[in-house]
Copies of this chain bind each other. A is one copy, B any other.
Amino acid sequence: MSLKNLYYIYTISDSIGETNGRIARAAANQFDEREYIIKNYPFVLDVKLAEYVVDEAAEHSSIVIFTTVIAEIRKAIIARCKQYGIKYIDVMEPTLAVFESHLNEKSRNEPGATHRLDANYFRRIDAIEFAVKYDDGKDPRGLKKADVVIIGVSRTSKTPLSMYMANNHYKAANVPIVPGVPLPAELYQVDRKKIVGLVTSPQKLSEIRQERLRAMGLGAQANYASLERIIEELEYADGIMKKLGCPVIDVSNKAIEETASVIIEMIKKKNEEEV
């Protein structure tokens, strides 16, 4: 990595700052051959701290991205950036201006969301606890209570997907498909529209399993990662998914977020049909 191509992205936020990070990465990924370092400053509720961050950014080749609803902090960051000649992105100001004009009302200028004990909060926490409890086929009684039941062979990302679904308030249970291990009888009793099968390419799965074996300090030559065994497992899983008549998602080239988005659309459609 040549240092010539290295640049910094400083993000300043009045709350957790995840939006800045997403925007920074989305933009940075549009430029090849550049290395960047993102420095996040969340919960900046004070003009002095905001100015300190810009001072630090001035020491490098930097872009400053900020989201704040607090007018004084916005003004301080812009003034400081102009002073140093640093390029900045003000995420919230244009957005708030559009909202103000559409709603014909001034914004409240209050930082952060209020974290009330609302129904959404409880639904999310319940869903996360549900996903943990009914992970990996641990207790088949969970299948009936789930919004979605995820099935697939080892390393098709059932657990992370269940957690991601939970974070979006959906209760997910997951059941591994292992040749020779009988599936729980409850699986055949739940609505097929609630079941989703995950499949992936044998090559991808072999890569992932080899990586897992390496992480565990085991040799990559083990049967677990062999293409022959993987193809056998995937064929067995395919038979079960056909028998269940459930939708199947190929996760080979999908991020967890994308697969989750497909499943959430499925659930929404199913719920609309039932209403």
Contact = CB atoms under 8 A, between A and B. Distances in A.
A141 interface: no
A145 to B, nearest CB: 12
A31 B103 contact: yes
A130 B209 CA distance: 16
Contact of A27 (B61, B99, B132): B99
Interface of A: 7, 15-16, 18-19, 22-23, 25-32, 34, 42-43, 61, 63, 65, 67, 69, 87-89, 91-92, 94-96, 98-99, 101-103, 105, 107-110, 113-115, 117, 122, 124-126, 128-129, 132, 135-136, 157, 159-160, 163-164, 166-167, 204, 207-208, 211, 215, 253-255, 257-258, 261
A208 B164 CA distance: 23
B129 A26 contact: no
A255 B99 contact: no
- The complex is assembled from copies of this chain, and their number is 2
B108 A160 contact: no
Given A26-B113, A215-B126, A258 B43 contact: yes
B23 A95 contact: yes
Given A113-B255, A115-B255, A126-B215, 9 more contacts: A15-B258, A23-B92, A28-B99, A30-B99, A31-B105, A88-B98, A117-B204, A124-B160, A129-B159
B27 A122 contact: no
A20 B98 CA distance: 14
A23 B125 CA distance: 23
